[in-house]
């Protein structure tokens, strides 16, 4: 079990839970940050923070401390039944 801000650029994780205030958590979930979603680290801002994450085909930027409150698990431990996109990503990462 780890958190989102520990991933390096190019790595993918599976979202487990958000440890954030309810209003923020709700907002993020409506932007696609729901349990079992695949999150990929796309790039860091020039200053190193915030980081751009790819989720649900969208690009969303979060600061280090917000990403630190998002728990993830490695992709390999995922049930391979998520989606076609998920499968492709898993294959690419293996």
Partner 1 sequence: MSGCCTPPPFVPPTIPPQNASLRTVVLIGPPNAGKSTLFNRLTGLRQKVANYPGVTVEQHMGLMAGVGREDLTLIDLPGIYSLDPFSEDARVSIDVLRGNMPGTPRPDVVLMVLDSLHLTRQLMLAAPVLALGLPTLVLLNMSDLMEARGGTVDALELARELGTPVAKISAVNGVGLEAVSLFLHSQTPRLGALPLSLPVLGNAASTHAWAANISHLSGYHAPLSAEKSRKLDDVLLHRIWGPLLFMAVVIGVFEVVFSIGQPLSDGFGVILADIANLVRPLIPTGWIQSLLLDGAWKGISSVLVFLPQILLLFLFIGILEDSGYLARAALIADRVMRTIGLNGKAFIPLLSAYACAVPAIMATRTIENKRDRLATILVTPFMTCSARLPVYMLLIAAFIPNTFYLHGFLGLRTIVMLSLYLAGFVGAMTTARLLKSSILKSSDAPFILELPQYRMPTVRSLSLRLIDRAHVFLRQAGTVILCVTLALWVLAHLPVVQGPSGSLSAPELANSLIGRLGHFIEPAIAPLGFNWKIGIGLLSSVLAREVMVSTMGTLYGADADTHAQSLQAALHHDMTMGGALALMIFFAFAMQCTSTMAVVKRETNSWKWPAIQFLYMLVVAWCAAFAVNHIAMAFGG
| Cβ at position 21, least distance to partner 1 in Å | 8
Angle at 69 between CA 65 and CA 71, to 5 degrees: 135
Residue 8 interacts with partner 1 (CB under 8 A)? no
58 DSSP assignment = E
| Cβ at position 81, least distance to partner 1 in Å | 12
Alpha-carbon gap, residue 87 to 38, rounded angstroms = 10
Alpha-carbon gap, residue 31 to 71, rounded angstroms = 16
Size of the site for partner 1 (CB under 8 A): 34
Question: The tokens of 81 are what?
Answer: 């039944």
- Give the footprint of partner 1 on residues 25-84 (CB under 8 A): 25-32, 34-35, 42-43, 45-50, 52, 54, 56-63, 65-66
| Interacting residues toward partner 1 by CB under 8 A | 20, 23-32, 34-35, 42-43, 45-50, 52, 54, 56-63, 65-66, 85
């Amino acid at each position: 079990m780890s958190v989102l801000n520990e991933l390096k650029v190019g790595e993918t994780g599976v979202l487990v839970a958000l440890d954030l205030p309810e209003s923020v958590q709700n907002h993020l979930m409506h932007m696609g940050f729901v349990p079992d979603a695949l999150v990929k680290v796309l790039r860091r801002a020039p200053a190193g923070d915030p980081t751009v994450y790819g989720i649900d085909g969208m690009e969303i930027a979060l600061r280090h401390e917000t990403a630190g409150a998002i728990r993830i698990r490695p992709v390999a431990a995922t049930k391979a039944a998520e989606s076609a996109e998920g499968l492709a990503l898993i294959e690419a990462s293996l």
